[in-house]
Chains A and B, each alone.
Chain A
Amino acid sequence: GESVGLHLPTLSVQEGDNSIINCAYSNSASDYFIWYKQESGKGPQFIIDIRSNMDKRQGQRVTVLLNKTVKHLSLQIAATQPGDSAVYFCAEREAAGNKLTFGGGTRVLVKP
């Protein structure tokens, strides 16, 4: 079936460096994508979203890029901080529906 996946299960990054988390999706009918952050013992927390009619969206220290040609989504975190250590999930939603399909998650470890 359709699925959302991630390329890197664990990403180690030096504090202050930029982080890039990648996600591949396979459902060409998806029109909405979200990145969530999940800290240990907590529920997923919304970070940023993007609609399929956009290719870039920026938030506070985060940027999401969408490449529909190759069905690729990425999350960039600028100046990574210790508080950014968490598991990051991408999720996609098929047009005309309200169900999200989640990827497997990437763990980001920030080294001091």
Chain B
Amino acid sequence: NAGVTQTPKFQVLKTGQSMTLQCAQDMNHNSMYWYRQDPGMGLRLIYYSASEGTTDKGEVPNGYNVSRLNKREFSLRLESAAPSQTSVYFCASSPSRTSSTDTQYFGPGTRLTVL
């Protein structure tokens, strides 16, 4: 049971390039999330998916798109990377769509630098 896995671990892009960050979970969780973490700041939600087939915007969705490929996988795509998207990206999952106590479990993160 690997939990939440993310690829790649590190990535350097030039402005305008595109890329997709991959996330997978093997805990049979329904909900999945993408966050970004900038220095000195907490985690900010980019997009989330409450269940397979649904996605919703979070706090900072501009410049990103997501795909909930199946129950296990949730990808984040940057169509045209900008230096402001330099950050550490975390994927997370939680067991149910809505629950009174629904802990999110996080992956190890992807460190992205946009030059």
Q: Which residue of A lies closest to B50 (CB)?
A: A98
A41 to B97: give the CA distance in the assembly, Å: 29
Contacting pair B31 A98 (CB below 8 A): yes
Contacting pair B100 A32 (CB below 8 A): yes
Contacting pair B100 A44 (CB below 8 A): no
Residues of B within 8 A of A112 (CB): none
B74 close to chain A: CB less than 8 A: no
| CB-CB under 8 A for A102 and B43, given A43-B108, A43-B109, A97-B98 | yes
Residues of A within 8 A of B102 (CB): 32, 93, 98
Among candidates A31, A100, A104, A105, residue contacting B100 with C-beta atoms closer than 8 Å: A31
Number of B positions contacting A (CB below 8 A): 28
**B interface vs A, CB < 8 Å?**
4, 31, 40-45, 48, 50, 58, 90, 92, 94, 96-109
Contacting pair A49 B42 (CB below 8 A): no
A99 close to chain B: CB less than 8 A: yes
Contacting pair B101 A103 (CB below 8 A): no
